């Protein structure tokens, strides 16, 4: 009997069993309802991204388009009270200044006229004082009539009033009333940081122009504002927390609280302004940056998940949760808020649990096919 064909046949059959036994070791096995198990090193695991969930405050609205601006309570725009020409600039953007520090020096006919008016008023006051004293002496000696003495007194009072008016006008231009200073100093009206400067040496300035020469503010405290739709007014209140994000720092969230809600709805847009004060100690945020502002529910934190982790089937929503390494459960959850990229889970998930954020569709297809 020829045994060679039989040996070949047996080898082929055993080889096919060996291959068939090896393949199931790499495939997922469903050992309970909606649960997948993978052995260590299974290739399917390399396609999954699994992350731990973190609890965070729940939004009450989708992110609103906002804008970061100066805090007007801590900002001043410096205009010139006189016409003139800039002779020297002292402050530049980024400089810290104190109240009364000179920002720039100007040659100004208006200032010179105010200085001359003050000197004239003071000289006239001295003259009228001497005339009043002389009239008092003559009246005491019965050389002049009483009406002449009274006229000298009245003229002295008029001169005193002229001096006070001239000093008030000049003090507006020169708080120290230093008459030796013949150039006008444009001074800082508050403490802060110079953030803008609109003049150059030799610039002719006009006190009638609407554009400020300098802007001084506290850049560590800004405002962020957005326009709220009329239908959402009832969802917000003063003191409510908001989360602020900007494109410049996509991985960072800045927090603030609502401190102003407009009392008037714009009749055209049917929106009203909502504003928050934003702490900016590192000065990373800049005025006129665009921002996304998300009003949050106060005192409520729930697990936050990326929308790529969600699987929707009809009206139900599911997540794939890692019970232990290689064991993944498809779990139904209820959402508290569904945003454009992120959602918050109300029921079915706890903070700290690990979920699949990439590869959920592959898992769902594999589970459905078993």
pLDDT in tens, 320-351: 999 999 899 999 999 999 888 889 999 999 99
Who has greater pLDDT, 212 or 6? 212
* C-beta neighbour count of 335 within 10 angstroms: 17
All structural domains of the chain, each given as residue ranges with its CATH number in brackets, are 50-71+218-369 (2.40.30.170), 82-192 (1.10.287.470)
The angle subtended at Cα 340 by Cα 338 and Cα 345, nearest 5°, is: 25
- pLDDT for 13 equals 35
0.75 exceeded by the pTM?
A: no
> How confident is the model over 112-127, as a mean pLDDT?
95
- pLDDT for 4 equals 42
Q: Is the pLDDT reported for residue 121 higher than 90? A: yes
Mean pLDDT of the chain: 88
Q: Is the pLDDT reported for residue 32 higher than 80? A: no
Cβ-proximal residues to 278 (8 Å cutoff; 6+ apart), any chain: 68, 221, 222, 223, 224, 244, 254, 256, 285
Burial class (CB in 10 A: 0-12, 13-18, 19+), 66: buried
Residues 284-306 pLDDT 10s: 999 999 999 999 998 889 999 99
Report the C-alpha gap between 243 and 254 in whole angstroms.
6
Q: Is the pLDDT reported for residue 17 higher than 80? A: no
Percent of the chain at pLDDT > 70 equals 91
SS3 172: helix
> How confident is the model over 239-244, as a mean pLDDT?
94
Q: Is the pLDDT reported for residue 261 higher than 70? A: yes
Distances (CA, A) of 133 to 125, 141, 207, 267, 287: 12, 13, 43, 70, 63
What DSSP designation does 162 have? H
Residues 125-160 pLDDT 10s: 999 999 999 999 998 998 889 999 999 999 999 999
> How confident is the model over 54-65, as a mean pLDDT?
92
Report the C-alpha gap between 345 and 306 in whole angstroms.
11
Report the C-alpha gap between 66 and 225 in whole angstroms.
5
Distances (CA, A) of 122 to 114, 155, 173, 181: 12, 14, 17, 17
Q: Is the pLDDT reported for residue 42 higher than 90? A: no
> How confident is the model over 3-11, as a mean pLDDT?
40
Question: In this structure, are strands 354-358 and 342-347 parallel, antiparallel, or unpaired?
Answer: unpaired
- pLDDT for 221 equals 96
- pLDDT for 366 equals 83
Who has greater pLDDT, 337 or 367? 337
- pLDDT for 317 equals 95
């Amino acid at each position: 009997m020829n045994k060679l064909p039989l040996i070949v046949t047996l080898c082929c059959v055993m080889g096919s069993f060996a291959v068939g036994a090896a393949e199931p070791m790499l495939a997922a096995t469903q050992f309970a309802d909606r649960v997948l198990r993978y052995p260590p090193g299974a290739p399917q695991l390399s396609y999954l991204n699994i992350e731990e969930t973190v609890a965070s405050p729940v939004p009450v609205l989708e992110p609103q388009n906002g804008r970061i601006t100066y805090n007007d309570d801590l900002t001043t725009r410096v205009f010139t009270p006189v016409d003139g020409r800039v002779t020297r600039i002292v402050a530049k953007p980024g400089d810290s200044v104190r109240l009364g520090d000179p920002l720039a020096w100007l040659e100004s006919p208006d200032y010179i006229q105010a200085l001359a008016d003050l000197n004239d008023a003071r000289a006239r006051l001295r003259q009228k004082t001497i005339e009043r004293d002389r009239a008092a002496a003559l009246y005491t000696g019965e050389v002049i009539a009483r009406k002449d003495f009274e006229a000298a007194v009245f003229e002295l009072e008029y001169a005193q009033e002229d001096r006070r008016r001239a000093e008030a006008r000049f003090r507006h231009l020169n708080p120290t009333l230093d008459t030796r200073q013949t150039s006008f100093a444009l001074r800082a009206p508050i403490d802060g940081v110079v953030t803008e400067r609109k003049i150059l040496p030799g610039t002719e300035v006009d006190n009638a122009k609407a554009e400020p020469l300098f802007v001084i503010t506290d850049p560590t405290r800004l405002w962020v504002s957005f326009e709220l739709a009329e239908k959402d007014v009832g969802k917000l209140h003063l003191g409510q927390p908001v989360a602020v994000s900007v494109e410049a720092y996509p991985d960072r969230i800045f927090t603030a609280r609502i401190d102003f809600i407009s009392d008037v709805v714009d009749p055209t847009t049917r929106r009203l302004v909502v504003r928050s004060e934003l702490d900016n100690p590192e000065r990373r945020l800049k005025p006129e940056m665009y921002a996304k502002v998300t009003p949050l529910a106060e005192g409520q934190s729930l697990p936050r998940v990326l929308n790529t982790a969600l699987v929707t089937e009809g009206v139900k929503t599911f997540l794939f949760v890692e019970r232990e390494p290689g064991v993944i459960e498809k779990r139904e959850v209820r959402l508290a808020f569904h945003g454009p990229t992120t959602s918050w889970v109300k029921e079915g998930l706890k903070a700290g649990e690990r979920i699949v954020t990439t590869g959920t569709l592959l898992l769902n297809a594999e589970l459905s096919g078993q």
